[in-house]
Structure 1
Amino acid sequence: MASDLGQPPPAKRPPTAPTTITAIGDDLLCEIFLLLPSLPSLVRAALACRTFLHAVRSSPAFRRRFRALHPPQILGFFCDPGREAVPPFVPLRSRSDPDLTAAVRGADFLLTRIPEDSGDSTLGWELQSFHGGYVVLVNNATDQIAAYNPLTQALHLFPHPPEDIIFSISPEFHILFSEEDQSVFRMVCVQHQDTPSLAVFSTATSEWQVFPWVETPPHPEGDVRLFYPGTQLNGFVYWKHASQAYVLALNTVTMQFSRLSLPHFLAEIEDMLFRLGQTKDGKLCMVGVDDSDAKIGTLVVRVWGADDDGVEKWMLEDTFSLSTFIDVTKSSTEYDSTVQIEAFIDGFVYLCIKYGEHTESLISLCLETGKLNKIFDDTYTSPAHPYFMSWPPSLVCNKVSPCLSTLVKYFQMFGP
């Protein structure tokens, strides 16, 4: 009978499907990645598996949010090379961020792939500019131009422009490429002194092409045309004039020149006291030291934008007293403490603070929050060039099959 047999056994439930990493959507993964401490940590996480890599590569919005939440990652600085063969590099050491340490350890900051001089030259390689992780150097002894990425170890060599195009002893070079595709790029050479000239080397044609120089408004009679080294931002290269209150701007798409006026107090300001950069949301911005008041020097921040009447100009954004950046415990009555601007990247201003003749520190100032962060204490040496880690192409390119060599190099860099 049924009573003797008891109740029928309950029906078996189907086994629960195991949860795998592929069950987590890209949106949730990106929210998790935003909590990582730095770009090196993100690189290491993204290259752990194809699912993580796809989440990062497929979302430009995520990359913008990550940049807004995390300051530009400085890996160290290149010292003024003097007459050394290659510029020496001083790395940033961080015990609190092992991924940052791994990035520094895995990169080639000794520039070992840069060709050595074939002759008995003491000139060595001269630093020119930095962009997208690339270091641009010039060797006047061998007439070579090198663009080298110490992280990916990608090296590109270019011939010097012919003398009938560029004959100045100190032309300036900048590498141009799209963030989405660094395999196609151009090298721009600008000669400001003597006869102003503009030449561009394209990887498509493998030759230099001369572009017309669009003259800016005339200079006073007898004035010597001289510009400080250029700054590359959002498709433009900007040069501050050394004795007049304006910036010369080159549109790297149209190769046309224009100029932006500056506040009058910046007319004859030294290069170390002025920088162009951009805010976290990408607006063109300038910082300059106003020391017209001998007692109270200020760091002035202005953003390029339209006023209430729709006229574009430099609008005052903020001011900071220079005393804000001075460590009173290091100040000396014998020597004055001085403040210099070393770099301006994505809303962060990097300041070199000199105490006397030998002691120097490097600090960062977040323009959005006013927060100060000490990066190098008593070990910084000016003049120098801070090197910032750029987003590797493997985290940006949206092609189905990424460049395997680039991926392998990053796996090696962030290995255990």
Structure 2
Amino acid sequence: MQFDFEFVAVHYALLVDDADASFRVVGAQFWNGRVRAAIFSSRTGQWAPLPFLRAPEPWRMRGGMRAGRFAYWQSNTRLERYIYSEEIERSLVLDTTTMEWTLIQVPFSAKESYCVADMAEHGGLCLVASKDQVVQIWVRDNDGGWVIKKQISLLKQFVLLKRLRQVSKKKRKKKKKRLRQDEWMKRVRILAVRDGCVYMEFWSITKPNSYLLVLNWETMKLRVIANNTTDKYRGPAFPFFMTWAPPLLSPAEQQRLLLQVFLSG
């Protein structure tokens, strides 16, 4: 597939079919307020062009992400170096069943962490965001706007997270430094939503290690997985889901068990 501008980066999203291990790759190129995209199918071995779309600047693109039947690309306005009169965060969403584009302007601050989610119980296309360690589910209202459907304060609901934050606070007090409350524990980074679970990451500024949080919205159970890295600097984490090979697991386990892989830049 030949894109318009060879000097402009193409950002890809990988879509894997769990049923037969086939896959599709969507490539999107952003340039001068326009999106050009194409999709590759492993079944046909061919690229097919997708409709053009107008998308206002700015866009600080990363790779695309999968969310159920959707693929999406965040504008990452918070990473833009230049100063704009309005800090507006957008997501470009492709419905991979209809091949239709949707351009979303998120209803919260451009600095908040969020992801796009496919939640049938809430009408399909949703947003899951984090503000001051409060996880929020945003859904469409009857007028096409966005409203908070559900939210939970992680620090109030789960004592373990509060204890982790207090440990950082005590260490900082020993150094006689006064910090704001939101500096004791970094903001929660929303990674993905799948099968009723929200995958998140948070880390302390006093240690290089981080924590993977898996929250089940139905049971309100939280699993905390420590990433005890010794690296001083860490890159952003991105979730990738895949099923285990059939010989390793029973059919029941194959349907429910997913492997969470984190790639660090």
TM-score by length of 2: 0.64
Whether contact under 8 Å (1:180, 1:396) holds in the other structure is: no
Answering whether residue 214 of structure 2 is matched by residue 338 of structure 1, we say no
Query: Shift of residue 190 of structure 1?
Result: 0.7
User: Which structure 2 residues correspond to residues 17-56 of structure 1 after superposition, within 5 A?
Assistant: none
SS in 2 for 1:196: strand
Q: Find 1:182's aligned residue among 8, 21, 25.
A: 21
Question: Partners of 1:166 and 1:210 in 2: how far apart?
Answer: 15
Q: Find 1:275's aligned residue among 115, 133, 138.
A: 115
SS in 2 for 1:384: coil
The Cα offsets for residues 154-183 of structure 1, whole Å up to 9 and x where unpaired, read as xxxxxxx43x54524531122335433334
Tell me the matched-pair count: 218
Alignment CA distance shift 1:340-1:321 (3 Å): closer
Alignment CA distance shift 1:382-1:304 (3 Å): same
SS in 2 for 1:338: coil
Higher relative contact order (CA 8 A, sep 6+): 1
Answering whether residue 128 of structure 2 is matched by residue 287 of structure 1, we say yes
- Corresponding letter in the other structure for 1:345: V
Whether contact under 8 Å (1:180, 1:393) holds in the other structure is: no
Indicate the residue corresponding to 1:236 in structure 2: 70
- Corresponding letter in the other structure for 1:198: A
Whether contact under 8 Å (1:353, 1:360) holds in the other structure is: yes
The Cα offsets for residues 116-156 of structure 1, whole Å up to 9 and x where unpaired, read as xxxxxxxxxxxxxxxxxxxxxxxxxxxxxxxxxxxxxxxxx
Alignment CA distance shift 1:211-1:305 (3 Å): closer
Alignment CA distance shift 1:373-1:330 (3 Å): farther
- Corresponding letter in the other structure for 1:260: I
Answering whether residue 191 of structure 2 is matched by residue 191 of structure 1, we say no
Indicate the residue corresponding to 2:228 in structure 1: 378
Whether contact under 8 Å (1:349, 1:367) holds in the other structure is: no
Alignment CA distance shift 1:245-1:275 (3 Å): same
Question: Partners of 1:255 and 1:214 in 2: how far apart?
Answer: 12
Question: Partners of 1:357 and 1:274 in 2: how far apart?
Answer: 24
Gaps of 5+ in 1: 1-160, 291-296, 398-416
SS in 1 for 2:229: coil
Whether contact under 8 Å (1:302, 1:317) holds in the other structure is: yes
Answering whether residue 162 of structure 2 is matched by residue 329 of structure 1, we say no
Answering whether residue 155 of structure 2 is matched by residue 313 of structure 1, we say no
Give % identity. 21
SS in 2 for 1:167: coil
- Corresponding letter in the other structure for 1:366: N
Whether contact under 8 Å (1:364, 1:373) holds in the other structure is: yes
Whether contact under 8 Å (2:73, 2:93) holds in the other structure is: yes
SS in 1 for 2:223: strand
Query: Shift of residue 318 of structure 1?
Result: 1.0
Indicate the residue corresponding to 1:67 in structure 2: none
Of the two, which has the highest radius of gyration? 1
Query: Shift of residue 330 of structure 1?
Result: 3.8
Answering whether residue 197 of structure 2 is matched by residue 356 of structure 1, we say no
Whether contact under 8 Å (1:352, 1:361) holds in the other structure is: yes
Query: Shift of residue 258 of structure 1?
Result: 1.5
Indicate the residue corresponding to 1:262 in structure 2: 106
Query: Shift of residue 227 of structure 1?
Result: 4.2
Whether contact under 8 Å (1:168, 1:191) holds in the other structure is: no
Question: Partners of 1:389 and 1:209 in 2: how far apart?
Answer: 25
Structure number with higher strand proportion: 2
SS in 2 for 1:329: helix
Alignment CA distance shift 1:393-1:313 (3 Å): farther
Whether contact under 8 Å (1:363, 1:375) holds in the other structure is: yes
